[in-house]
Structures are given as C-alpha cells and as structure tokens.
Amino acid sequence: MSSSTRPPPSSSPTPRCPVYVEPSATFSVEHVYVYYKGNGMRSFERREMSRAANGYGAEIPCAAMIAPSMEYYVTAVDANTQVVATVGSETSPVQVAIVARRSHPAPSLPGRTPPETCAADTEECPPGMTGPQCRTRPAARGNRGLGDPCASNDECGEGLHCDAGACGVGEASSTEPTEPTDPNAVRTSRFSFDLGGGIGAAFLTGRPSYAEQRLLVNSSGQVIRRDCGDVVCYQTIDPGFAPTFFLAANVRYNFTPRIGAAVVARFQFDAAPWTIPATTGGSARSNPFANLLLMARAYYAFTPHGFASSGFVASAFAGGGVGQIEPKPALPANETRDGAHVLSGYGNAHAGARVEYAVRNGFHAGAEVALQFMFPTFLFNIDTTVFLGFHL
C-alpha cells in the first residue's frame, strides 16, 4: 500500500494535511483508517479515509499540525476486520515535518482542491489550549485491543468499539451509549476457575508394567522372577477398561472471546505411592507423578458469543502434559489381595470437548470429556469430568 503526503507550513493559520493511499488490488479492503498524532498529543487519534481516485484519502485536522512535526500511520482492514495492509505503525509511524515555508504548491487529494486554512473559531484548539471555540475532546479510552473481550465501549482502545462482547474496528456513533443499556446483553469472561471430579476408563491389554513390580535377575542378567510383594501382578491381561477416580482443577485465561489457554491438574485417588517400599531382595524405588497429571491446553469456543459470561458455552480443547495415570486391572472375586497399579507416561497428549452453563452472578457448571494418550509407556484413557466454578 503506497502513501503520499505533503507537509503544510507551521505558520498560523495552518491548513489541514492531506494523506492519500492506494491499496494493492490483491487485497480485499473494506475500510481504511489514518491514525495521527501531532505535537503535544498524548495518543494517536483515528479518522476513516474515504474513496478518492484509485485509493483512499483523508485530511488530518489542524489540531495536529503543530511544529515541529506530525506523525501518522495507515491501516486497511477487510470485511472481517482483519488488517490486510499498513503504512507505518504505532511504534514506527510516518514522520511529517511542519515547515515554516512551503516550497511546493498547496497539497490536495486527487481530484480535489487544496484544503482551506483553518479558522480559529471552527476547529479544535491545539492540545493545552482552551476557549469557547474549542470542541470537547473525547474521554480517555481503555487499552483493550481488536478482538479482546469487552462489556462497554470505554474498555476498548482508540479507534475501536464494543460489539457483541468483543472490541471491533470503528468508533461508536455519537448517539451510542458507552455503557450497555440492555440488561440481557451478552458479555464474555476473561478468567475462569473450576474444580471437579470424575472417572477415567483406562484400556488395558497384554503385558503391562506395574509400579510395584520388581524384576529379579541372575548373575547372567536373565529375569528369573517377577515380584510385586503383597499385591497381585497379572503378567497377561485380557482386553478391557479399568476405572480410575480423580479430582481436577482448571484455571483458564481467555485471550479473545473464543480462544483461551488453561492449566489443569488431575489428582488420582487410588494410585501407587511416589516411593515404592522395599521388599525382600530389593530396595525402595521412586515412582514420580504416581497420582498426579499436570496439563496445559488451548480452548476454542464454538458457540455464537464465545466464552459468554452467561448462558450455554461449548468448546473444544487440545494440549499436553507430564505425569501418570495408574489404573488397576480387575481381580477375580475370590482374590483377597490388592491389585498392582499399571505404569504410564510420563508424557501426555490429550484432546476433548467441554460444555458449561454460566449464570450472571459469576458461577458456572458443566462437564468435559478428554481422550488421554500417555507415552512412552503407553496408555489410552478416557476421562469424564463434572465441575463447578466461577468466572470473571
């Protein structure tokens, strides 16, 4: 996207500064905005550019044309409010010197006459000046960016407004209230915490490795006996599912109305200890993460309002972690001894789906199903969790 400007003089009265850009035909452009900041202005202000010749043009107002310089940048967005082209940026804007004398003819937009000089009684006063002829500047705005959750226009940054719970491109109209007047307006949550419990179904088959198992070898290194002490270790298991019961805690931060990231802790009630006691002919052995699985995951909300602070929310997630899930194979009814725990992990990959219902006082309830894959000691497990929580 190309841009052109010509600096006007700094002497009073000062003409507006025309800015003209021609976006490439390869871009699908819906709106083009110029952000400008003059000497003494604390932040950039925005103005939408209109069609002019083969591009878009706008005139930067007199309030920004104060020596020694003015700076600006331009963004073009598509119909989905995604930025497709820029000239400069907020951190690296285009610099325009405000000169004392003009060496070129008065600049203008294509097909238009040069802008008239500013009349002191019709324009904004420069920053720091007051008077009856000065228009009131807009109130300070928030710092939330494009796509961030919001509840009102004031939470969004300059050039943005709150639309359906998210900051969108464009200023709110002058007749639009800055606070939502509809008590049923949908808002999105930024932070969520829940605590729940559930049951896992671990698929067991073949010859598993047990947490309590020790291999007794002879001097040649050959296994002569497998010893599990006081618990039962079946060397071959028929295919089937074994249950595990657990508590789970989930803390999630929503970066946008639809995308969030969470950390999850899964604590298994019935698991082998972290240190396996010594048995005859062996010493104590470490069994780290025996009852604990720590995970990080990303969420995406499919429902129309994303992670709404009230109503129904459905989302999918995927992630990974470190730890163990330790199921116990089923034992015959006449077996009096306890069963050994099957080892898994320590690596984890998982994916699943979540549904929840949120109420306006900040609480929610729901359920999720996760497909757990433990490696390199492989185990496939299906976790079903129900939970209660709160959100902000």
Q: Are 155 and 245 in contact (CB under 8 A)?
A: no
Where is mean pLDDT largest: 161-170, 230-239, 262-271, 303-312? Answer: 262-271
Q: What tens digit of pLDDT does each residue of 12-34 get? A: 345 678 899 998 888 888 999 99
Q: What is the pLDDT of residue 163?
A: 78
- Pick the range with the lowest mean pLDDT from 131-135, 161-165, 325-329: 131-135
The pTM is what? Answer: 0.54
Phi, then psi, of 375 in degrees rounded to 5: -155, 165
Q: What is the pLDDT of residue 1?
A: 67
Q: What is the pLDDT of residue 64?
A: 82
- Pick the range with the lowest mean pLDDT from 43-52, 177-186, 214-223: 177-186
Give residue 111's pLDDT band: very low, low, confident or very high (50, 70, 90): confident
Q: What is the pLDDT of residue 264?
A: 97
What is the mean predicted confidence (pLDDT) over 300-314?
91
Smallest Cα–Cα separation from 98: which of 186, 209, 10? 10
Q: What is the pLDDT of residue 373?
A: 97
What is the mean predicted confidence (pLDDT) over 187-209?
92
Q: What tens digit of pLDDT does each residue of 142-165 get? A: 667 776 667 677 777 777 778 766
Q: What is the pLDDT of residue 367?
A: 97
Q: Are 372 and 380 in contact (CB under 8 A)?
A: yes
- Pick the range with the lowest mean pLDDT from 93-97, 98-102, 305-309, 318-322: 98-102
82 pLDDT more than 80? yes
Mean pLDDT score of the chain: 82
Q: What is the pLDDT of residue 166?
A: 73
Give residue 369's pLDDT band: very low, low, confident or very high (50, 70, 90): very high
What is the mean predicted confidence (pLDDT) over 129-139?
48
283 pLDDT more than 80? no
Smallest Cα–Cα separation from 372: which of 384, 381, 385, 359? 381
Q: Superfamily assignment of 2-137 in CATH?
A: Immunoglobulins (2.60.40.10)
Where along the chain do its domains lie? 2-137, 140-182, 191-391
Q: What is the pLDDT of residue 105?
A: 75
Q: What is the pLDDT of residue 180?
A: 42
Q: What is the pLDDT of residue 191?
A: 94
User: What share of the chain has pLDDT > 70, as a percent?
Assistant: 77
Q: 341: which 2 tokens?
A: 């725990």
Give residue 370's pLDDT band: very low, low, confident or very high (50, 70, 90): very high
Give residue 235's pLDDT band: very low, low, confident or very high (50, 70, 90): confident
Smallest Cα–Cα separation from 383: which of 117, 167, 373, 9? 373
For residues 322 and 82, what is the distance between their CA atoms, to the nearest angstrom? 37
The fold of 191-391 is Porin (2.40.160)
